[in-house]
Amino acid sequence: MNAKYQPLFQPFTFRSGTTVQNRIVMAPMTNFSSNPDDTVSKAEVRYYARRSKGPGMVITACTYVTADGKGFPGEFAGHSDEIIPSLRELASAIKAKGAKAILQIFHGGRECPPELVPDGRIVSASAVASERAGAKVPEALSEEEVRHIIRAFGETTRRAIEAGYDGVEIHGANGYLIQQFFSPHSNRRDDHWGGSLEKRMNFPLAIVDEVKRVVAEHAKEPFVIGYRFSPEEPTTPGIAMEDTLALVDVLANKELDYLHVSLQDFWSAPRSRAVDAGKKRVELLLEAIANRVPLIGVGSIHTADEALRALQTGVAFIALGRELIMEPDWVEKVENGQEDTIRTVLRRGDQALLEVPDPLWQAILNTPGWFPVAD
């Protein structure tokens, strides 16, 4: 290994007691490839196993916690005890290669396609449609339904424990239900769950507390709890950077194992003029966190040099997404001094070599600009 990359390969022990072998994380990525009954497919198991030998931690694609929370076709489920054997197969495959297995848990809220949820009924914090074209107006969740979903996040955490995962990541990012409660665009409530900035935090914080309660009750070994968030929204009204800094300040005191920011570009600057425009989002987040909890950074990091530069900002981990789809051996190649051989372009004949499931492969080929693809 080139000695300068040594910081990427330092082990890290989380608050919970779990130790990971390095600072590289496989980012959670939707792959559209589960079985028709929403169990994990054999193709998904092979796909994850192929990418679990190098990173210290692998975060799965999101799994939905209630039947009305399914956000994607081919998304695997976590809302029933019947799914535990399927979840266990995936956790075992990841862990067998050396990575820690983290199950991302989520509810799609108003972003759920009506055809994927019971009776086509989509729900959210309030009856406000997303601003994307063709979005349907959701139904506002009742008090009883809100509390049911909070409990469901806990129940899916219990299933993750029973299935042998090393942790869960609460998906509070990318415009899904948890973010919908935090957002002034999608949350127009005037009860305990909405109104002021502090009340818009109540739903995400209640989920954190419920997941922590379940882990304390059921986990017999160290179990990681992470939380993913998006720092800003493009809508007006919408989540501003100063809102997220307030949320992060509270989350940093919740004794979580990590926070995970969702960014397209690690080095992006905030939109909001109410914060220091001379600083990047990651810098502002690290200042707010003040070393109370590790932060995972992500976004358009391709090379070992870029990963090292990002790590030097003070984040604890670097998450890689597309890079590990294109090059499952990214981590090992850097560790073995072979970074010059890392694959940077997908070729149409690479699918079998890379063990990418058919639905994901078709999405890659049919989404211009998502990946560099050559014939």
> Domain containing 113 — which CATH number?
3.20.20.70
**Which backbone phi and psi does 108 adopt, to 5 degrees?**
-75, -20
* Section 149-176 average pLDDT: 98
Q: H or E element: which one contains 299?
A: none
Indicate whether 7 pLDDT > 80: yes
C-alpha angle with apex 106: 306 to 132, nearest 5 degrees? 80
Instruction: Give 113-130 pLDDT, tens digit per residue.
Output: 999 999 999 999 999 999
* Section 72-99 average pLDDT: 98
Among 264, 266, 253, 157, CA closest to 201: 253
Q: Is residue 365 domain-resident?
A: no
Q: What is the pLDDT of residue 275?
A: 84
Indicate whether 261 pLDDT > 80: yes
* Section 238-244 average pLDDT: 97
Instruction: Give 185-203 pLDDT, tens digit per residue.
Output: 999 999 999 999 999 999 9
Q: What is the pLDDT of residue 276?
A: 82
Q: Are 124 and 141 in contact (CB under 8 A)?
A: yes
In order of 193, 236, 238, 257, the CA distances from 109 in angstroms are 15, 19, 16, 26
**Which backbone phi and psi does 48 adopt, to 5 degrees?**
-70, -40
Indicate whether 272 pLDDT > 90: no
Q: Is residue 366 domain-resident?
A: no
Q: What is the pLDDT of residue 282?
A: 98
**201 CB contacts (<8 Å, ≥6 apart)?**
182, 246, 247, 250
Residues that are catalytic: 176
Q: H or E element: which one contains 241?
A: helix 241-251
* DSSP-assigned beta bridge partners for residue 297: 318
Indicate whether 269 pLDDT > 90: yes
* DSSP conformational letter for 236: S
Confidence of residue 76 (pLDDT cuts 50, 70, 90): very high
Q: What is the pLDDT of residue 277?
A: 76
Q: Is residue 356 domain-resident?
A: no
Q: What is the pLDDT of residue 45?
A: 98
Instruction: Give 8-53 pLDDT, tens digit per residue.
Output: 999 999 999 999 999 999 999 999 999 999 999 999 999 999 999 9
Q: What is the pLDDT of residue 8?
A: 98
* Section 331-349 average pLDDT: 95
Indicate whether 363 pLDDT > 80: yes
Report the C-alpha gap between 271 and 344 in whole angstroms: 31
Q: Which domain, by its residues, includes 140?
A: 3-342
Q: Is residue 164 domain-resident?
A: yes
Q: Is residue 78 domain-resident?
A: yes
Report the C-alpha gap between 175 and 124 in whole angstroms: 11
Among 246, 238, 254, 239, CA closest to 287: 246
Q: Is residue 115 domain-resident?
A: yes
Among 94, 93, 67, CA closest to 78: 67
Instruction: Give 298-311 pLDDT, tens digit per residue.
Output: 999 999 999 999 99
pTM of the model: 0.98
Q: Is residue 133 domain-resident?
A: yes
Average pLDDT, the chain: 97
Among 159, 155, 161, 153, CA closest to 178: 153
Number of domains in the chain: 1
Among 224, 132, 139, CA closest to 177: 139
Q: Are 24 and 67 in contact (CB under 8 A)?
A: no
Q: Are 297 and 310 in contact (CB under 8 A)?
A: yes
Report the C-alpha gap between 76 and 45 in whole angstroms: 12
Instruction: Give 220-233 pLDDT, tens digit per residue.
Output: 999 999 999 999 99
* DSSP-assigned beta bridge partners for residue 252: none
Q: Is residue 352 domain-resident?
A: no
